[in-house]
């Protein structure tokens, strides 16, 4: 290994040193998140330079917040991001598998097996694993099974004692916004409110916006709400460039002010004529307009984010109006009521009783920001899992059951091969056992005893036997409702094997010009001082 890689043009690491260096960096990342796996996994406290704290066991959050400079380590982090984007869960599994594939690949490199042979064997193993997963997957048909998927996703994230309630919230939310089994998770907003207990978290069949009404004299609640969504600013626009207005008499000044007043009044009149009694404005609202709106009993909210405007349109059926002078009754949306509610100092606007809402809000409550943030991460994982399951309707047994069965069948497949690739397939197969071994370790169980018992059960044909960490038993996890979407496993194995193959093929690390001056925070552990 070479110190100070990146300080001199032409610094490089060659051959086995390059491979060892990259594999070590990737394994350090995998080891970091290893202890967070499963319902009994531990949490990490992440503290940044300004003292902000995040407490979580969500793999992608941990890796995103860590300062990582080593190029191979960054590739491992990219797997987590891909897994999060594609499925929304399984990031820790993907990263751990990549680390284990590389660790086992290093054993083969030490046996003088060429990287090309190892990577070919890994490709064959990955293709075979995908076929086996399709065979092991089962179709789900009921809402109860989706609830089990959601509950499995939330275990170990500070939400398991309320997993039944949260599972119901998640499944109901997905069920309402789904169209042809496709779910756009952006249609499910998550709002957080400090105060009250976690148990008070609720699904709101409407939209909650973290905004208050703009004027104290506006009604706090509007029943039978006819809602206008306005992009245009309700204020007089200043000139584009610097301008001077010459006023020589008091009458001219008064005329100028009256004209401004008239423009603002006409904006309010257009709103009143449309029949709207609630308006959401993407830009600002002049104080005089606020006054006129309040006198007319119209509830107004200003500076609403574009994403919120789009969700409001989906939920209420309103059309977003760009030009206020052309607003018509047909542009308005409907909600049975709109109300401002205050919890402590902060107020929120509730848009409730929408006729056919295609956008919803999950309102998470809790005592501290750290608790609320972790519940939010658990909810997002569960939403991703349920959405992925709904898409292809297939699940596999959880608790390490599917990994043990994969390992067993891949070893059987390896026995049919004759070349050195057979060794690579065997190492790929043994890497799959890393998941149940880690689940057992994190739960304080003896991993060797657990692995022996799991192998014996699967050899006897019990393909769905895994770890039920809630009672510490080895049993049929499919029957116990510990299930995971097929998509999590297929994506994790595909991503992990791809990056392992890529890293194993690197035999030369050269400091390019744009890398000069990198200090390498994580790299210091790997000789990148």
Tally of CB atoms within 10 A around 455:
16
Q: State how beta strands 278-281 and 221-230 pair.
A: parallel
Ramachandran assignment for 297, one of left (phi > 0), alpha (psi -120 to 50 degrees), beta (any other): left
Same fold for the pair 145-202+357-388 and 207-356: no
Strand segments (E) across 165-304: 188-194, 202-204, 207-209, 221-230, 278-281, 299-301
CATH number for the region 145-202+357-388 comes to 3.30.260.10
CATH of 207-356, one of 3.30.413.10, 3.50.7.10, 3.40.50.10800, 3.40.50.2300: 3.50.7.10
CA angle 89, 154, 53 (to 5 degrees): 80
Q: Alpha-carbon distance 306 to 367, whole Å?
A: 29
In this structure, the number of other CB atoms found within 10 A of the CB of residue 508 comes to 11
Residues 43-79 have pLDDT tens digits of 788 887 787 887 777 777 788 777 777 888 888 888 8
* Sign of the C-alpha dihedral computed for residues 16, 18, 21 and 23 taken in this order: negative
For residue 341, the cross-strand partners are 348
- Residue 5: what pLDDT? 37
* Fold (topology level) of 12-139+395-526: GROEL; domain 1 (1.10.560)
Query: Kind of pairing, strands 320-321 and 221-230?
Result: parallel
Contact 498/505 with Cβ under 8 angstroms? no
**137 Cβ contact partners less than 8 Å away, ≥ 6 residues apart:** 394, 395, 396, 486
Which phi and psi (to 5°) does residue 366 adopt?
Answer: 180, 170
pLDDT at position 11: 60
* Predicted structure pTM score: 0.71
What is the rounded CA–CA span in Å between residue 503 and residue 115?
10
pLDDT in tens, 440-493: 998 888 999 999 999 999 999 999 999 888 788 888 988 888 888 888 899 999
pLDDT of residue 156: 67
Q: What angle do CA 43, 47, 52 make, to 5 degrees?
A: 115
* Pair of tokens at residue 114: 């060429």
- Residues designated catalytic: 58, 91-92, 381
Sketch the domain layout of the chain as residue ranges. 12-139+395-526, 145-202+357-388, 207-356
pLDDT of residue 4: 38
CB atoms closer than 10 angstroms to residue 336: 13
Query: Residue ranges of the chain with pLDDT lower than 70?
Result: 1-15, 156-160, 237-249, 251-259, 343-345, 508-529
């Amino acid at each position: 290994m070479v110190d100070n890689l990146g300080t001199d043009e032409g610094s490089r690491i060659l051959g086995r040193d390059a491979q060892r260096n990259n594999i070590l960096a990737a394994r350090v990342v995998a080891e970091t998140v290893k202890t967070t796996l499963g319902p009994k996994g531990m949490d990490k406290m992440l503290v940044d330079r300004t003292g902000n704290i995040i407490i979580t066991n969500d793999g992608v959050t941990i890796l995103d917040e860590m300062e990582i400079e080593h190029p191979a380590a960054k590739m491992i982090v990219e797997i987590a991001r891909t897994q999060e984007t594609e499925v929304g869960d399984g990031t820790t599994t993907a990263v751990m598998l990549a680390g284990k594939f590389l660790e086992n690949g290093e054993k083969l490199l030490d046996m003088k097996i060429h990287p090309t042979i190892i990577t070919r064997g890994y490709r064959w193993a990955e293709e075979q694993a995908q076929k086996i997963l399709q065979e092991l997957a089962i179709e789900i048909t009921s809402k109860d099974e989706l609830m089990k998927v959601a509950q499995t996703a939330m275990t170990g994230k500070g939400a398991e004692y309320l997993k039944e309630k949260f599972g119901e919230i998640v499944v109901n939310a997905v069920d309402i916004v789904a169209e042809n089994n496709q779910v756009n998770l952006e249609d499910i907003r998550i709002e957080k409110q400090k105060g009250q207990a976690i148990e008070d978290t609720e699904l709101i069949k409407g939209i909650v916006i973290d905004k208050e009404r703009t004027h104290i004299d506006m009604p706090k609640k509007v029943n039978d709400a006819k809602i206008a969504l306005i992009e245009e600013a309700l204020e007089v626009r200043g000139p584009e460039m610097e301008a001077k207005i010459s006023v020589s008499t008091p009458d001219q000044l008064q005329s100028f002010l009256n004209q401004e007043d008239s423009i603002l009044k006409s904006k309010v009149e257009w709103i009143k004529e449309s029949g709207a009694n609630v308006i959401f404005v993407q830009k600002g609202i002049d104080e005089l307009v606020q006054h006129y709106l309040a006198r007319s009993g119209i509830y107004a909210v200003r500076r609403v984010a574009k994403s919120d405007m789009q969700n409001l349109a989906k939920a209420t059926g309103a059309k977003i109006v760009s030009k206020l002078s052309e607003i018509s009754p047909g542009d308005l949306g409907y909600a049975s009521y709109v109300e401002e509610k205050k919890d402590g100092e902060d107020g929120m606007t509730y848009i409730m009783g929408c006729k056919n809402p295609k956008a919803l809000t999950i309102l998470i409550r809790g005592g501290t920001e750290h608790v609320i943030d972790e519940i939010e991460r658990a909810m997002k994982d569960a939403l991703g899992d349920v959405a992925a399951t709904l898409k292809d309707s297939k699940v596999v047994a959880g608790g390490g059951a599917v990994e043990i069965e994969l390992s067993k069948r891949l070893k059987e497949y390896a026995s049919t091969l004759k070349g050195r690739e057979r060794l690579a397939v065997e190492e790929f197969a043994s890497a799959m056992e890393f998941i149940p071994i880690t689940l057992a370790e994190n739960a304080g169980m003896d991993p060797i005893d657990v692995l022996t018992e799991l192998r014996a059960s699967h050899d006897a044909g019990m393909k769905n036997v895994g770890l039920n960490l809630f009672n510490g038993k080895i049993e049929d996890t499919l029957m116990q409702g510990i299930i995971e979407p097929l998509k999590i496993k297929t994506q994790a194995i595909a991503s992990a094997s791809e990056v392992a193959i890529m890293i194993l093929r690197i035999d030369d690390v050269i400091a390019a010009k744009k890398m000069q001056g990198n200090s390498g925070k994580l790299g210091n552990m790997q000789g990148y001082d």
